[in-house]
Amino acid sequence: MKLDLFDIYTDYLISHNQQAIATALSKLLDGQISHDKITRFLNNNRGA
């Protein structure tokens, strides 16, 4: 089952009880998604 970045990020926000940052999410995913890719995703979806 393939999850898109939106689903991954929202699951991370729901389950994370501290400050949520792209670097921590990337580390949690063992670098499978770079923190730069997460940051670009967030910047591209601002105000959408």
Cα distances (Å, whole numbers) of residue 17 to 2, 12, 20, 21, 38:
25, 9, 8, 12, 19
Decide if pLDDT at 25 tops 90.
Answer: yes
Q: Give the CA distances from residue 33 to residues 11, 27, 38, 47, 48, in Å, rounded to whole numbers and listed in that order.
A: 15, 9, 7, 23, 22
Q: What is the pTM of this model?
A: 0.78
Average pLDDT over every residue of 12-40: 94
Residue 40 reports pLDDT greater than 80 = yes
What mean pLDDT value characterizes the chain?
Answer: 88
The distance between the two most distant Cα atoms of the chain, rounded to a whole number of Å, is: 29
